[in-house]
Structure 1
């Protein structure tokens, strides 16, 4: 039934496969199992009955059973609608936008003040007001790195393209840089840290146990039984689990990357996969022993029983369910000691985060009224949604990079703790790492949310509260999610990250970044790319602002050394064009530092010129000024065309700086920068030798000696940048 066709008060008749069209309260339910992954992101369907306080939510799917429900809310009034309404646009600026806005204000004030000083000093030396006005304006243009927007845009665009190549789709371009600022990664469990598919990992029975290899629903792997003589008993357990089963497996379809899919309850599908790994074909089993009767699972009985007829005419009773519902002497004839051992082992497995099922069996010669009695316990099956192979290494990489990972899940606390221990979020076997639950948060029992690393049984509002608590503490947060209920937290985090394969449309629309492969390692690569962008912006600012500072200092100090008008307006603008144009823009394409993910993120409120960069601007500016004026004073003393020498020396010195600031001088990762430097050097020479440019810029040709003096200034500036200032771009490396 379409959602648009129902109103509050309507009665819904729901069966297996139906999509719930609206929020509704249950009035009748028979073995009802509902897939709420679209809403919650959790992979295990939920049992529902008429006592369930939450009822049914719009958009969820009936996996098994039947129900009658009364519609309570539709459209914007439903839980789905309320979440969608909370996804309003974020007006706040990104960290980079805030930093650059502050830098722009500072540059404007400083530049205007210095240009006024240059203008006044020129008038005091008797220069014409018109000429000094043009010079001051030209100096203002040169001092401001006007190609900064182009550099930022290019760096972000290159970052977005590189992320796309790594299967991370950027939906909002400024998010590329913000990723490099992330200090806290709030991740969900299902499908992000884990496979998102239930698998049988362990089997147990008195006298033997087994480990089951393989991942996902692909029926490939082994059942490793210890001792080996328990292999037949393990096959018997899995045979019964496959018969007492309503799920099925679907082979890979075109465009699904070779992934097998589960149709029905994921837990039952995992049992079918385990049976296949033991060499059993569920289809053949069902054909040889067709089902003749069943007692379906429900939340009260917590077990499922099926009856099958064998080719010889016998009746097989197959039962599986929660250990507390199966390990009962009223059902199972095993001795009390065996049942006690099984219950203890089931409790240990549950503590380790497994979902545990007990399997029992009986063979009858005729139908009987008491189907669920006189059975024999075959053993226990332990299932889990296992961590992805790369999850632990990915979180370790986050910690090396100074990023704090936090797990937020709606799953059971024991499951959350088990996964957290397996991926290294909590120390294995330690009681010190706290797992806070949603009820704890609701009761106010967690005074400091930023002190907890694992949260379980959380609702959408609490996810948002956790993100806001970290942001209030000054952290830059990244939040991953795939369900509709993750939308508000994705929207309010500094970076919202949605899963591309299993994520809902609501989650993807709320996110800044979509991981097309659902791999958290892709996010870590994106963080590395974000740091590259910010490093290149700092590299450009150090280069461009030190050059601008040098031009201002040359104009201020030159007259004190007898150089009346060090540079003309046209020469200043030509230097600015060649250094801030192609060369400046090419800086934005520099490759990522090898140490980018082995150092902490920058402080969230650190100025873009912080961490010593402004001192580097002044120091490099002083070096470029000194070597340029030295070349000019030598030329003036030798009766050479000192102004043209100063023009070339100042330009070449700035080009030397940009090469010196490269982390790897001869890297082929960015061929555009050396090409841009060569082009700028060629245009600088053209300004000295082409008659048209000579007339416009008022330059004269230089001898080899004059050119050598200017080149020496460039080499000196290159050395200063290489030895002294390059380390200012990157913060100190983290010590492991």
Structure 2
């Protein structure tokens, strides 16, 4: 016996009496409450430990311990402060991310109406059990998965789960003996209800078939159970941390061994080696990263993009694939009448968005009005009368725009009539409704009867073309019906949902006989409805392509609708077609990566599509607004949720929330991401070039006659000044004007890739050459050569920092020159203030010596400017090919 048959037999066994209280209590004890499991809270110490496991943080911890061992409390304090700040930020962001699964509970009804012991009761939704008989009404949230056993004009909004913008008509389970109930191919979608969906219209009785984790909401929660993945920036910094740790330990061990071999004291060389460890590690890197991400997040907030996890700021700059939902993301999320046709030959398009009365109806260049096209006015007036929706104007409360109550399709018809100038309220007063035949999923049409003067009535029928455009419903010539059917097919191919409207005036029909009412009607025309693309969507897709980002459309909507929207926006490429996910027995990885548009996708398939691209090395951004998008939002490298119409589940699962619901904001945020990543690489060039120069000076100095080029305290002082405020200020540099005209960097590329480590070595060689040259000149002339080397090393690094600016001038980032001037002043203080001279072991320089060293330090500025002219990649590393988009 099939599962559908078993559930259906159970429904009929319980009938209208529902379960007994005793049986319900037994099932609640056996199956557990109708609630999603609450994840075990992670202890604070474990969160902190996970943050400290980062290799770069581990290197900083070792460096802090070593600096404490040397008694350099200032440098140790700075390092420990950076560790504390970054750990605190990371823990806080993790706590916010864990709210995603908990937010699923907000979509389930807090109470449910059930029949127990033959009486209707209201109980907590957590107490609903399998077999309960649910009583459903308009506006109620379905508390659990259920099969309908009775339905009256029931319309259910499933967009949060399926992504389909049009509410679904639901009917009762057919009798057991019927072919549909026993057909193994039948999926029961016409009578099955899912937890978390909303009743838009009508009423029904349904028997619960699954609760808690076994429901549709529970299955989505299971998909979200996996933790968030590392962002590209985090993966790259992990690699940098490991490399720095190995290099620092090896080189400093070499310096220690060489010093001991030359007869230097063990204590001095140990302190020197510790100092070089600190110098080799750019301890300002976490601070630079945090500041750059924080500033990027603040700028994004100013552009209506709210960042929930700081690393997501940079991730947007790495994105190679942008997967987006359709409804409410690429489209307005509001059904709008877009076309109408009348048998007299009138064909018109309707402009305007939303439910507001602004807009027009045009035929070519001619604007139609009631006096120019009576047939169009008659068609729209009939559509407004055979209608149960209500339009609400803006108010001072939460409704800032026109909104609707009832079926979105009927609301679209009302809005079209208003745009045409039809006085809807006057129609209701003059022609009150006398009777109706409600819409149901079998008939697929609705009929209303309205009073006319003199005792006559007007019968209006509205429904799917295949149920209206036929005999005996219509009394029209065959040619008219055939033309209407052809036009309906054309509209459907254009992605429109088509409604046919017919009417007839009669003197004395039998208002209790639907068969008599729905026959011999006159065809008024067709109206095509759709959820139109956002005005900015096409420009956003074009901007993505210009930036080398591949756009994907993944929707639960119909393939024809997806094809039209994707073609209009430029997502569907020539030679490619829409993938109907219902026809995929398994997600073929190659086929998934080649496709650009996916229709009828369920949450599991959305997740699989994201995973297929991530496994191929792409960095995937996923946008969406529904519960069905939440698993993919969480699993993508960066999830982007709509802030206004998005569900709380989607917002909590996402890394970025768009406050204005505009997909174009993602492109602006991607620009900020590229800016952040460029600034991090800019700091790495500056910081690591200085660190490598310090190690090179300590290694090469003894070989050229300089026994100990720098004292440990001098190394730490230079490191503190150069990697402090100047390094952090580099994180505020403005974006490159051409950032969004280049393809994204290869996902597998290291943060030191694209020739950066070669540039670090070249600039480091210049800094060490200037320092050693100054020291050798001072040593040969009997000058205080060690102090000269100390000053040259610091000032040359600061000159490199000044040359690292993204744009010349001080207006774009005035913090950097100010920080460099401050560091230069402290470097001079190390030469001329007695307390600092005693601490650092320096001697004051003469004006001539100061001028000479300062002049040579400018070579660092010139070297970086010239280095920018060198291609960033060697012939062995060809420029990455732009992705075919």
The corresponding residue for 1:189 is 326
Asked if 1:276 is matched to 2:418, the reply is yes
CA displacement at 1:564 relative to structure 2: 2.8
The corresponding residue for 1:342 is 484
The corresponding residue for 1:359 is 501
C-alpha change, 1:360 and 1:576, in structure 2 (3 Å) is: same
Measured in 1, the distance between the counterparts of 2:429 and 2:762 equals: 83
The corresponding residue for 2:687 is 544
Measured in 2, the distance between the counterparts of 1:663 and 1:610 equals: 19
SS in 2 for 1:379: strand
CA displacement at 1:433 relative to structure 2: 1.6
Greater CA deviation, 192-201 or 78-87? 78-87
Measured in 2, the distance between the counterparts of 1:312 and 1:672 equals: 84
The corresponding residue for 2:171 is 49
Contact 1:487 1:510 in 2 (8 A): yes
Asked if 1:309 is matched to 2:451, the reply is yes
The corresponding residue for 1:234 is 376
The corresponding residue for 1:174 is 311
CA displacement at 1:514 relative to structure 2: 1.7
CA displacement at 1:642 relative to structure 2: 2.2
Alpha-carbon deviations, 1:47-96, whole Å to 9, x = none?
Answer: 11125713011222222222221111222332112222332241643222
The corresponding residue for 2:161 is 39
Structure 2 residue aligned with 1:636, among 766, 779, 790? 779
Measured in 2, the distance between the counterparts of 1:663 and 1:183 equals: 24
Measured in 1, the distance between the counterparts of 2:869 and 2:356 equals: 51
Measured in 2, the distance between the counterparts of 1:680 and 1:194 equals: 53
The corresponding residue for 1:99 is 236
Contact 1:620 1:725 in 2 (8 A): no
The corresponding residue for 2:559 is 413
Contact 2:229 2:637 in 1 (8 A): no
C-alpha change, 1:501 and 1:392, in structure 2 (3 Å) is: same
Alpha-carbon deviations, 1:487-518, whole Å to 9, x = none?
Answer: 22222222122222222222222222222222
The corresponding residue for 1:59 is 196
SS in 2 for 1:180: helix
Measured in 1, the distance between the counterparts of 2:397 and 2:596 equals: 37
Query: Over aligned residue pairs, what C-alpha RMSD do you find?
Result: 2.2
Measured in 1, the distance between the counterparts of 2:287 and 2:635 equals: 28
CA displacement at 1:232 relative to structure 2: 2.1
CA displacement at 1:355 relative to structure 2: 0.8
Aligned pairs for 1:612-691 (under 5 A) are 612-691=755-834
Contact 2:162 2:557 in 1 (8 A): no
Contact 2:156 2:198 in 1 (8 A): yes
Contact 1:187 1:408 in 2 (8 A): yes
Measured in 2, the distance between the counterparts of 1:42 and 1:56 equals: 15
SS in 1 for 2:483: helix
CA displacement at 1:425 relative to structure 2: 0.5
SS in 1 for 2:245: helix
Contact 1:158 1:589 in 2 (8 A): yes
SS in 1 for 2:147: strand
Alpha-carbon deviations, 1:157-180, whole Å to 9, x = none?
Answer: 222222222222222222222222
Greater CA deviation, 140-149 or 554-563? 554-563
CA displacement at 1:320 relative to structure 2: 1.6
CA displacement at 1:639 relative to structure 2: 3.6
Contact 1:661 1:725 in 2 (8 A): no
Structure 1 residue aligned with 2:752, among 602, 606, 609? 609
Greater CA deviation, 410-419 or 139-148? 139-148
Measured in 1, the distance between the counterparts of 2:810 and 2:679 equals: 15
Structure 2 residue aligned with 1:163, among 295, 300, 311? 300
C-alpha change, 1:321 and 1:387, in structure 2 (3 Å) is: same
Contact 1:652 1:713 in 2 (8 A): no
Asked if 1:567 is matched to 2:710, the reply is yes
The corresponding residue for 1:225 is 363
TM-score (norm 1): 0.95
- How many residue pairs get aligned? The number is 733
**Structure 1 unpaired stretches of 5+:** none
Measured in 1, the distance between the counterparts of 2:588 and 2:471 equals: 41
CA displacement at 1:456 relative to structure 2: 0.5
Greater CA deviation, 703-712 or 396-405? 703-712
CA displacement at 1:567 relative to structure 2: 1.3
TM-score (norm 2): 0.80
The corresponding residue for 2:89 is none
Contact 1:218 1:260 in 2 (8 A): yes
Greater CA deviation, 685-694 or 502-511? 502-511
CA displacement at 1:190 relative to structure 2: 0.1
CA displacement at 1:595 relative to structure 2: 2.1
Alpha-carbon deviations, 1:652-675, whole Å to 9, x = none?
Answer: 111111111111021523222111
